[in-house]
Structure 1
């Protein structure tokens, strides 16, 4: 899903071919009216090697929208296998060591053993000796399991008197609503959420004005050119690029 979003984001990008060195083509990729700074993408059609100055693949292992844009314009039908890391695929589950019980994974075992015990209890409910056998089996199983994993506490939600099931001791009168007291944690959560919503409100009101002033400053600084993240070298400084001067 994340890769799909990156592909859709890349479909709105524009690109300029700014240089060719042997089999490697160099592009500047950006989104019009959105990106103030462009990224540099180097692509080799022969080996399908691609790199971007945003370095998303080297940091997260996912191709960025700029790289996907260049692959798309060169009609590369599928992403090369070397750019699909195993940790982002379903195959990563194959390396996980899941403890199996009788050849069944833990989640499936819980469902199966629950059905078996339910069937056993339902079959024994009409016979007193069978019920006693179930209770003895439960106590024996509880003792053996507690010896392995520690104490297990059971909370009886029903009280029985002479075999008659009665209402819980904390039951409220019929028609009365359950009024739950608000905890301190919930109060702090609501307070924090309110502050977060207010900060978003302030951000939306000021973001447009700030972006407009930044765009004006950058436009006056670069003139007819633009700023680019360089793809080569260890320097992270932006480079001023002027198409008129390059020609």
Structure 2
């Protein structure tokens, strides 16, 4: 637009181009976004709530409808988990070790995405080696009428990594068809462990929300990246702390013990993060926190807030002025007397 329209001096377009990473998907492919485009009008929220809430619904009705939607989501999630646990995925190509590995690891829906990328890489792409050490490849579609762009795939046998300029793994967490085509060109029979994200595994719900211990979870998922391992740790600690607080509530001695131990633990964690050990712990955790003063700001009325119906009511307008001239008042009184006499 700037070059074709000769708009280099347009300040608004220049400012818009400076923040292109915020609105253009071509510049934020390194973000894990699952291909979701956020909008200011919340079309996705409107689509979900369509058919449940109405413009005339009250806040209570909207809340009950939202709970109904959440129950439907949870039921669908349980049904999908049941199907994954009861039936095995049958690969389209039973002789492919890559599809066998993906069928054992991915859930049913994610495996469908992966299989589509795999088959497209085998039958719809061409590859060309552009380096002498088999570390750089150029991949493009056979049918150039669909997409004539060439994507660059970098492969490192020493580090066991494969990267593509299409950046589908960075966006969605699964390898793209271009990486699959290079892997087939190199006769690779397994998917690298680091490219199998636990969030897409068939046991994701079991691993993340079960009551297992942290060491066993981390040892069973050696392919965990830092974000997923942190997520598992937070879930486990939150469940553990909630269980302790629930058991201790109502007993003053138990509540006191929980508060003291948590205060000591917080001080130890802080010391460890600072690289210091064996520091005496000060404070027992019984410091009372006073509430702020309940002070109404100046200029803020203490009257009851009006609801939507009261705001729509038209204001009453006095037809007569508050203070009438004496002559005008006498004239009104005479008219009232005349009207009464006529009625009699």
TM-score (norm 1): 0.36
TM-score (norm 2): 0.26
- Determine which structure has greater relative contact order: mean sequence separation of CA pairs < 8 Å that are 6+ residues apart, divided by chain length: 1
